[in-house]
Amino acid sequence: MRDQNTAYLVSIIIPIFNREALIVETLQSIKNQTYLNWECILVDDGSTDQTIEVIKSFIEKDQRFVLLKRPELEEKGANVCRNIGMAKSSGDYLVFFDSDDLMVSTYLEKQLQNIVNNNADLSVCKMDFFEKNDRYFTRKKPCYHQELWENYVTRQLTILTGSVMWRKRFLDSHHLNFNIKLQAAQEWDFISRGLLHAPVHAFEDSLLYHSRIHGF
């Protein structure tokens, strides 16, 4: 790969709604990335707490963070916000992330290196889950198999939006975006439709992504 800190732009797209208590950890994990050439597009879905003020404090110090707002006439929802972020993104590669999850500091570097070295359309990394008491755990289902689409749609694999880096050109060529009519299983729908187009895929055998579990 070319100069690992300048070669390609990665766009990180995050829908946000009332996350003032958790968004700092997420944004700090992005700011701590060893790969430097990224933009983080945060699309607000109408927050009423101090989320916007928290984000603005990051933007003041680092203009790689960008804040957008869902137009009032647009339908409310995370999927609408993801589509807005994707349309506004300038990156060669895209990551759809959640506003309460965490990236390991080498997430962008290793995912990008894996996808470029394998000339792939997407890279899937290892992930785990954590609770509010910082107890980390993994699930029994693997996150990768050579027969990726078949095993994913039959629920044999655990893949979340945050564990995948996509080549933007692949998503654009197949006109892939998030279904704004769905109220559940939005990421399953998006990923399964993407995999249906038989992308060249690669697996990054590193634990790079922490997904927060609520309700404990």
Task: Provide the whole-model pTM.
Answer: 0.93
Percent of the chain with pLDDT over 90: 74
- Helix or strand (DSSP H, E) at 94: strand 93-96
Q: How many of the other CB atoms lie within 10 Å of CB of 147?
A: 10
Quick: pLDDT tens for 116-164: 999 999 999 999 998 876 677 777 677 777 888 888 888 888 899 999 9
Residue-level pLDDT at 137:
74
The predicted structure's pLDDT at residue 75 = 87
Q: What is the pLDDT of residue 2?
A: 47
Burial-class residue 25 by CB neighbours within 10 Å (0-12, 13-18, 19+): middle
Spans of the chain, pLDDT less than 50: 1-2, 216
CATH code of the domain occupying 10-212 = 3.90.550.10
pLDDT of 40 reads: 98
Sign, Cα dihedral of 80, 77, 185, 166: positive
pLDDT of res. 215: 55
How much is the pLDDT for 17? 96
Q: What single-letter amino acid sits at 76?
A: K
For residue 61, give both structure tokens.
Answer: 């110090």
State how far the Cα of 78 lies from the Cα of 84, in Å rounded to an integer. 10
Q: What is the pLDDT of residue 155?
A: 83
97: helix, strand or coil: coil
